[in-house]
Chain A
């Protein structure tokens, strides 16, 4: 293909790793206290980050564009997020990196645990802008991590989808050479666009950074912001009909005995661990 349209969808989440044990306990307890709703951790005060697999998908798209440019092939790049305003700084960065179109579809509803509604919004948006040749998504993203969204979107668009993609290279005749995890091993195969690629533990996982001059150059460009309502999807209403509903959250009890093994030196402690805990267990293996 002389011209390839790549669209990347991504999600921005609170940095859950910045939360601490009491925050999680409160999230689970809060639901019980309030009697309704599933509860959720307080995330207002932590930074926002790109989903790790989404970040890899964005960088893979840029590398694909670069590789095609080197081969004299044109590529257009677009990125979108189904999100509230918090995605805007990330979209601006993507504009500076050469994504010609950067869009935010605001669902005005919380879709964290609603893969079907999310997929419906994405598919509708993509039909609106013209279904892409290659749709790159992260294979899954917090907090739901269902992994179902890429397939649900692919199904709505009638496209094949490969998940757990770790690398994408250009191949002859506009095709792509894709490496992915499947069936307990790794597979490399060629796929012809249009297709959906859901990126997993990719070899390249970090997004490049635009220079201040790159940013300056796109300063006047605006983001495409539209509500899902403008697309004809009433996300809030759809949410009521979402076939899966999060009812409550529980903490996970991981407590074990935690018996401290005594001794003065590492050798003594290793010996004590072996005699009191390990010997019999290892003999049974």
Chain B
């Protein structure tokens, strides 16, 4: 009883009007994948089922109508906003899916400097919100590398995290309330309060749902005072990651909250810091920010901690500051990277995991060694830790390989998935989490039961209750 493509388009047009339904073949084909299979778009070789339409709702009511209709007709819906997803969350894996693109819902609803919160629709680019709140001397504190291109809806839907997370937290620490639309058309609004203990924290059902439970239509996030003039940068070179992790741990355990706390392994450091770090150097770096007294105390405290590690050699802070000023990826940087891939067939991929302090170095070492040994054509295998907590940290594996002897459409099978497999195995073996901040998407969904263990019961029940007909982003988080 599934609808034909024509009937799907017709049904959507009735809801949102003809102009808000995109059926251009090229756009549909490009919309069948995200960055997980980005080579398919770069080389224009496509294998995924082509979606039936991209629909651009104008408001929450239209989203509700679309989801009601999709739920009744068993049409698979893929929510989308900034389209920067890296894990296949936007990939269509069943025929005739509909992309519900929230990028037209791009109004900043309110900025409330007294209560230090801002509300915006899902399609607001984070950069746009950040620029607006900066006019009030404030910041969202959220700064993922994709800040210029990712939108608020997607950032909440993926449980994203930014470069200043050690001070401000991940998106889950920033969202105070939100509005979401569920498959039956129910619109649920979670009010904006500082805290409550009125039962479970239902924000977390929505945050990180990756479009597999509901569509996020509006979010309210915290605001913070912005003191860029107090930013203080510190950097060191050192010879091994174990020391780097140990220093990060010391800083966290002693209660310091730098906004940036990172350690790069030699391979990854080579990409950013080769003008001051030797080929076998790791790089440890921090940024302290906030009110003057806090920034200074943080920087002084970190300095004292690292001074206790004579194997760390301090470098001028200008190196770190200059690096920091050029961190984010705008659309042009992304397409320039695509051009590099087109010409060189050299592809950069990343996989981020987390684990406690006891395991992180073992995971890093074991995964790295196996990947170099088992996967062909690797040109760089490295990574960094960029988000630390009292009980552990993350590892952002960063690796490059040449695609040799296979077409661009086979890159994931030959290289990317086997590498992800190794990283997931080594992480799970030591009790870590296989996803730190990019989301499960479809890429890591096959490992969902191992990731969740007995708590998979909760996840599965959520999915079954909120999306009984299974129309929300099939194959995401939970595999087909």
Contacts and interface: CB of A to CB of B under 8 A. Distances in A.
Direct A/B contact, Cβ within 8 angstroms = yes
A212 interface: yes
Nearest to B267: A212
Q: Could you tell me the dominant secondary structure of chain B's interface residues?
A: mixed
B274 A89 contact: yes
Given A18-B326, A44-B318, A209 B275 contact: no
B348 to A, nearest CB: 10
Contact of A46 (B316, B322, B343): B322
B422 to A, nearest CB: 15
A209 B318 contact: no
Contacts of A112: none
Interface residues of A, number: 21
B340 A206 contact: yes
Contacts of A209: 344, 346, 379-380, 400, 402
Contacts of B319: 45
Interface in A11-69: 14, 18, 20, 44-48, 59
Contact of B275 (A48, A204, A205, A208): A48
In this complex, the member of A14, A45, A205, A206 whose beta carbon has the largest number of chain B beta carbons within 10 angstroms is A45
B340 A89 contact: no
A145 interface: no
B321 interface: yes
Interface residues of B, number: 27
B287 to A, nearest CB: 15
A126 interface: no
A272 to B, nearest CB: 24
A59 B345 CA distance: 13
A11 to B, nearest CB: 15
B404 to A, nearest CB: 9
B372 interface: yes
B378 A211 contact: yes
B72 interface: no
In this complex, the member of B272, B318, B340, B343 whose beta carbon has the largest number of chain A beta carbons within 10 angstroms is B343
B275 A211 contact: no
Contacts of A44: 275, 316, 318
A229 interface: no
A212 B343 contact: no
A159 interface: no
Contacts of B372: 212
A47 B274 contact: yes
A209 B270 CA distance: 14
Contacts of B377: 211
B381 interface: yes
A46 B316 CA distance: 12
Interface string B336-374: 000110011110000000000000000000000000100
Interface string A172-215: 00000000000000000000000000000000111111111100
Given A45-B319, A209-B344, A211-B379, 20 more contacts: A18-B325, A18-B326, A44-B316, A46-B275, A46-B322, A47-B275, A48-B274, A59-B343, A205-B343, A206-B343, A206-B344, A208-B345, A208-B346, A209-B380, A210-B379, A211-B401, A211-B402, A212-B372, A212-B381, A213-B378
Interface of A: 14, 18, 20, 44-48, 59, 86, 89, 204-213
Interface of B: 270, 272, 274-275, 279, 316, 318-319, 321-322, 325-326, 339-340, 343-346, 372, 377-381, 400-402
Across the A-B interface, the 5 shortest Cβ-Cβ residue pairs: A209-B346, A45-B318, A45-B322, A206-B343, A209-B379
